[in-house]
Structure 1
Amino acid sequence: MRLLPADLPERAALALEVHARPSEPLAAPGRASYVAVLVDADERERELAHLARLCRQHGQLTPAADAVHWSGSVGPLRLKWERHGEFSSYTLLTASAGGEPFADSAANLLPAGWLAGVPGLTVYAGHAELLSPTEGGALGDLLQQCFGGRTVVGSALGDGAGLAYSDFLTHGDGFGRILLIDQGFTPLVAGRMLQRLFEIEAYRMMALLAFPVARRLSPRLMAIERSLAALADSIAAGNARETGRDENLLQELTRLAAEIESGLAASQYRFAACRAYADLVRTRIDELRERRLSGLQTLDEFMSRRFTPAVATCATVSRRMHDLSERVAQASHLLSTRVDIVREQQNLALLASMDRRAKLQLRLQQTVEGLSIAAIVYYLAGVIGYLAKGSRSLGLNLDVDLFVGLSVPVLALLTFQTVRRARRRASDPDTKNGH
C-alpha cells in the first residue's frame, strides 16, 4: 500500500539535481586539461555527435540526445563533458608519470585533431598539474619553471590542504596554467578544488564578454546624455505657445528613446549574464577557503583588483542606459503634456471663434430674413394689384391703390408668421428627425 500521495512529475529529477555533475577525483601526481567552448544553439547537435564518435571509438556508451553532462574513460583519460547555458566544458584528467611540470598535458592524449574539431569558439583553456609535496621541490625554482618569471597569484586552499598558483595568462600553446601542490588533499577534494579553479577562469571569461560591449556603448551614451541635456535646456527655455518647436523637440526625444531602446535590446542579455557569471566567480572563490601565502596575492585579491572593476563598469553602463531611458521617457511625458495643453488652448480659441462666427451668421441670417419678408410682401402686393386691376373686367369698381395699401400689413403679418414657423420647424430636433 502506497504511503504517500502521487509524486510531483519533476520530483525525481529535482532530487537528483543536487547530485548532478560531480567532480572527478584526481590523485597526486596528476594532470588535467580544461576547455570551455562557446557553442551556438544550432551547433548543439553537432557537438553531441562529435562527442559520440569519440565514445564509440573507445567502446563507451554515447550520451543521450537530451544529455547535459557525460563522463567516462577515453583511453588513459577520464573525460567529463558538461553543457552550460551558453558554453560547454571538457575536463580531461590523467595520472602523471612525473617529470617536468607542463612538459606534457592531458589534452595531448586525445586522438589527433579531435579537440580542434569541437564545434564552437574557445572561451578558456587551461592545463593543471597536481604535485605531491615531495615533488614540489624548491618553490621559487618550481614557479620559475612553470610560469617563466611572470607575476604569480597563489594561496593555500581548503584551509591549508593544498597550495594553488597561477599567472592567469595564456601561454604559447593557447592554454593557461594552474599549479596545485598537495598538502593533504583526498583525490575527491583535489578534483573538486581543481574544478573550481577551472570554473573560476571560465566564468570570469564569460562575464567579461560584456566588457567590450560596455566599452562600445560608453561613447554612445555620452553623446545621448549631451543631446538629452541640450533638449532639456530647450524645453525649459522654450515658449509654451511654440507648438511647432515643441513638436520638433518631441520628435528628437522620440529618436533618442528609440536609440536607447535599441542599445538596451542589444546589450541587456549580455549585461545580465555578466552579473550572473560574476556571482558564480565569487561563489567559487569563497568555496576555495583561501589562506594567504607570504608575498603573494590571493585569488580573491587578484579578482578584486582586475576582475571586479570590469564587472562594475558593465553594471554602470547598464544602469546608465536604464537611467537614460527613464529620463527620456520623463522628458517626453512633460513635453507631451505641454504640447497637449497648448493644443487644448488652441482648440478652445478655435471653438470660441467658431461660436462668434455662428452668432454673426445668425444675425446675418435674421437680417436676410427681414429683407426676404419685405421682398415677399412686395411681390405679393404686386400680385394683388394685378388681381385688383383685373377685377375691373368683371365690373368691380375697386380702388386699386387703396386695396393694395390695405393688403400690405396683412401680407406682412402672414409672411412673418410663416417664416417664423418655418424657422422654428427647422431648429426643432424632433422635426429634423422626422417625428
Structure 2
Amino acid sequence: MRDFNLTLNHPSRVPLAAELHSRPFMRLDGPEAITHLAVCHGGESGPPAQHSQHRLLGELCGHFGVAAPGPGSNHFYHDFGSFRLKWECHTEFATYTVTAPLAAELAVHDAFAHMPLSFLPAAWLAQLAGSVMAAAHVALVKGEADCTRLPAVFERNQLAGSSVMQGAELWTDFAIQSDGFSRFVIRDLGMRHLQGGRLVQRVLEIETYRMMALLGLPAARTVGMELDRIEAELSSLASTMVATDMAPETGAQDEQRLLEQITRLAARLEKLVLDNGYRFSASKAYFGIVKARIEELRETRIEGTPTVEEFMERRLAPAMQTCAAVSARQDALARRIADTNDLLRTRVGIVQELQNRRILESMNARAAQQLRLQLAVEGLSVAAISYYLVGLLGYAGKAAKAAGLPINPDLALGVLVPVVALGVWLAQRRVHHRIGRSRQ
C-alpha cells in the first residue's frame, strides 16, 4: 500500500480534523464524585487571558510535580492518582473538572461531604477570588431511585428531575448551596459503557453555560434604563421639531441646535451597542448551547417533578428573552434616531434653500440696479465723449475757416453732433460685444 504524502495536506487539515476530538469527555463509572469550576478570564480577552489561565494551570500542576501543557493548548487531562483533572480553555472562561471515586456504601446525602475539591491547594483556590462563575458538585451513584433522602441533599424543596438517556436519573435544584456550590445527583440505573462521562459533561455544560448566559441580564437591565432616558430625550426632541418654525431667519439656528442634540443621542446609543453588543450576542449563543445540551439528555418525566427543560423554560428563558428584547430595542431605537436625523437634515436643507433663494433674489435685485446704473452711466459717457469730440471738431472747423476754406463752423458742428453721438454709441456697443466674447 502506498503511503500518503503529508505534504499534500492543506495547512489547516490536521488541526481542523483534531477539533472534533479536542474536548473529549471523561470516562466515569459510579460511584464517583465530581467538582467543577468555571473560571472567567477577569475581563481580559485574547492571548493575555489565555496566558493567565495557562499560568493558573501551570501553578496547579507544579504543586503536584506534573508537567503543564504548552501555551497554545486548550485542553488538558491528567490522572494524579488520588484524583483526575480535566481542564478546558474557552473564549471567556476556563473549566477545571476534578473527579475522585466514592465509597460504594456511602449514602447519597453523605456523598457531598467527600467531594474532590479537598485535593486542590487552598493557596491556589485563593487565586480564583472574584473570577469563579460556576461551581458545581456532582454525585454519580448507582442504585434504584429513592427520592426520600433528596431533601437532605438539597436545601430547597423545589427540585427538577427526570429520567435521562434511558438509563439514569438526574436531580438538582439549580441553587447555590451554603457551601457555595450547586449540586447534582445522577443515579446510574443501567447506563451503557461511557454514558456516565457523556451525561456528566452535558450536565456540567448546562450549569456552566446557563451562568454564562445570565451574564447578559445585568447588562440588559442597565441598558434598559439608559434606553428609557434616550427615548425620553428623543421624544422631547421630536416635539421640539414639530413646534419649531422653519422661517429662514430663526429656523437654521434652531435646526442646527436640534441636529447637535440628536448627534449626541446617536453617539450615546452607539457606545451602548459597542459596550454591550458582544455580551448580548454571547448570551444568545450560550443559551443556544444550553437548549442543545438539554435536548441531548432525552428527558422522560418523573411524575410530580418538573423536568430540567421545564425548569429552564420557566426561569432561564425569560431572562434570555429580556436580553433579546433589549438588544432588539437598541436596534429599533438606532433606526428611529437615524430617521429623525435624516428628517432634521432634510429640514436644515430646506431652510438653507430658502436662505439661498432669498440671497439670489437680493443678488438679482442688485444686479438689476447695477444694470440701470450702468445704462445711465453709458448714456452720460456717450454725451461726454460726443461733447469733447464735437469741441475738437469745432476747433478744427474754425482753423479751416481761418485758413480761407469756405466752411461755416457752426453749421458743420450742428450737422456733426448726431453723427458723432451715433458713432460713439456704436463704438461702445462693439467694445461690449468683444468683452462678452472674451468672457465666454
C-alpha deviation, 1:346, in angstroms: 4.0
In 2, are the aligned partners of 1:46 and 1:119 still within 8 Å (CA)? no
Q: What CA distance in whole angstroms lies between the structure 1 residues aligned with 2:201 and 2:141?
A: 16
**Paired residues for 1:69-108 under 5 Å:** 69-97=75-103, 98=106, 100-108=110-118
Shift of 1:265: 1.2
Aligned partner of 2:155 in structure 1 is 148
Aligned AA (1:110): L
Q: For residue 430 of structure 2, what is the aligned residue in structure 1?
A: 421
Deviation per residue, 1:130-161 (Å, 9 max, x gap): 22217x7x532x222212354322222212x2
- Secondary structure in 1 aligned to 2:432? helix
Tell me the SS of whatever aligns to 2:8: coil
- The answer to whether residue 184 in structure 2 is matched with residue 182 in structure 1 is no
Contact 1:29 1:129 (C-alpha < 8 Å) held by counterparts = yes
Stretch of structure 1 that moved more, 101-110 or 251-260 = 251-260
What are the Cα deviations for residues 360-409 of structure 1, in whole angstroms up to 9, with x where unaligned?
A: 32232112101111112223333444455566776778655444434323
Which of 24, 29, 39 is matched with 2:26 structurally?
A: 24
1:194 to 200, 216, 220: 200
In the other structure, the counterpart of 1:265 is 274
Aligned alpha-carbon RMSD (Å): 2.7
- Aligned residue in 2 for 1:128: 138
Contact 1:27 1:186 in 2 (8 A): no
Instruction: Give the TM-score, by structure 2 length.
Output: 0.88
How far, CA to CA, are the matches of 1:411 and 1:215 in structure 2?
94
Secondary structure in 2 matching 1:168: strand
Contact 1:37–1:120 (CA<8 Å) still a contact in 2? Answer: no
1:215 to 213, 216, 221: 221
CA distance in structure 2 between the aligned counterparts of 1:351 and 1:148, rounded to whole angstroms: 83
Equivalent in 98, 111, 126 of residue 116 of structure 1: 126
The 2-side partners of 1:320 and 1:301 are apart by 27
Secondary structure at the residue paired with 2:124?
coil
Instruction: Give the equivalent residue in structure 1 for 2:290.
Output: 281
**CA distance in 2 between partners of 1:205 and 1:12 (Å):** 33
**SS state at 2:314 partner:** helix
CA shift for structure 1 position 247: 3.5
1:326 maps to 2:341: no
Structure 2 counterpart SS, 1:167? strand
Is the 2:269–2:330 contact (alpha carbons within 8 Å) kept by the matching residues of 1? Answer: yes
Q: Would you say how many aligned residue pairs link Structure 1 and Structure 2?
A: 427
Conserved? CA contact 1:385–1:404, under 8 Å: yes
Structure 1 range deviating more: 279-288 or 143-152: 143-152
Range moving further from structure 2, 10-19 or 361-370? 10-19
The 1:154/1:264 distance shift into structure 2, 3 A limit, reads: same
Call closer, same or farther: CA 1:55–1:116 in 2, change over 3 Å.
Answer: same
Aligned equivalents of 1:252 and 1:49: distance in 2? Answer: 49
How far apart are the structure 2 equivalents of 1:232 and 1:344?
Answer: 22
2:27, 2:194 within 8 Å by CA — same for their partners in 1?
Answer: yes
Q: Which moved more, 1:38-47 or 1:206-215?
A: 38-47
Paired residues of 2:168 and 2:186 also in contact (CA < 8 A): yes
Segments of structure 1 that go 5 or more residues without pairing to the other structure are none
